[in-house]
Structure 1
Amino acid sequence: MNPALLVREAMATRLVTVPPYTSLTDVAACMRDADVGCVLVASGDTLHGVITDRDITVRITAEGLIAGAATAHQAASGSLVTVGPDASICEASALMCAHAVHRLPVVEEGRLIGLLSLSDIADTPHAQEILVALVCAHANH
């Protein structure tokens, strides 16, 4: 496997962000308009949370709350798992696996600079090797 393949080489840098006070109706419209299933809740380059389309369904709709009254901050995932840009793709994949997440915000010196998703990893030249390494590591635990 290529140990030099870094998160910064595969991450997306065109990010869809919303401020924490954004209504979930506006968040959903933002997802629709940008054709994404995830937005980052941020103030400037400071990350506060991540909202997926599933979060809106499970945290808001299923709990009987009204999306127009709820804010991005209320729906965002509570525990953030992030990765640095100089981590290897394999390290990032292991983080995703350990925390059962499909996306990792990329943070450098406290600043949001990117987003790494499973599809970004699948687009790397070593995706199959990374998957095999993860399966082997999981089998050894």
Structure 2
Amino acid sequence: MAMQTVRDVMTTNVVYLPSEATLAEAARTMREQDIGDVVVADGPELSGLVTDRDIVVRAVAERCDPAATTIGEILSKNLVTVRPEDSIQSVALLMRDQAVRRVLVCDDSNGLVGIVSIGDLAEEIDPDSVLGGISKAEPNT
């Protein structure tokens, strides 16, 4: 059996928003796209990543106005990146060691080509596990 790589499991449909987008805009985008994160980019430059959890913990819990607060104010700037040819096992270990739930996938010229989430890995590494089953399930909306 061939080693599975990030390329085999990554999501290639990356959603971008500018840093001046509001939390409300980001939340609506996440709902409409059925995703848990958006990449923050101003032009070709990546600024960071915002997740649904960031919106809750860094903004809503702090009573920030979702219509006035921008994602640029709450984004995660320390991005963890991997390459498409990396093994999914090495990425799982990296995510554990860095305590992150998502990593950006960059090509040899550091261009963003995808995202891998902990759910993507759970489905691939052990699809019959409880976490794999949760990750494969349709969203509970």
SS in structure 2 of the partner of residue 123 of structure 1: helix
SS in structure 2 of the partner of residue 49 of structure 1: strand
Is 1:115 equivalent to 2:115 in the alignment? yes
Q: CA deviation at 1:113?
A: 0.8
**Runs of 4 or more above 6 Å deviation:** none
Once superposed, what is the RMSD of the aligned Cα atoms?
A: 1.9
Which residue is 1:64 aligned to?
A: 63
Q: Distance in 1 between matches of 2:33 and 2:106?
A: 22
SS in structure 2 of the partner of residue 62 of structure 1: helix
**Higher relative contact order by CA 8 Å / sep ≥ 6: 1 or 2?**
1
Percent sequence identity over aligned pairs = 39
Q: CA deviation at 1:8?
A: 1.2
Q: CA deviation at 1:27?
A: 0.4
Which residue is 1:30 aligned to?
A: 29
Q: Distance in 1 between matches of 2:87 and 2:70?
A: 34
Q: Distance in 2 between matches of 1:10 and 1:44?
A: 27
- If the length of structure 2 is used for normalisation, what is the TM-score? 0.80
Q: CA deviation at 1:21?
A: 1.4
Which residue is 2:40 aligned to?
A: 41
Q: Distance in 2 between matches of 1:44 and 1:91?
A: 31
Which residue is 1:135 aligned to?
A: none
Q: CA deviation at 1:14?
A: 1.0
Gaps of 5+ in 2: 127-141
SS in structure 1 of the partner of residue 62 of structure 2: coil
SS in structure 2 of the partner of residue 50 of structure 1: strand
Gaps of 5+ in 1: 129-141
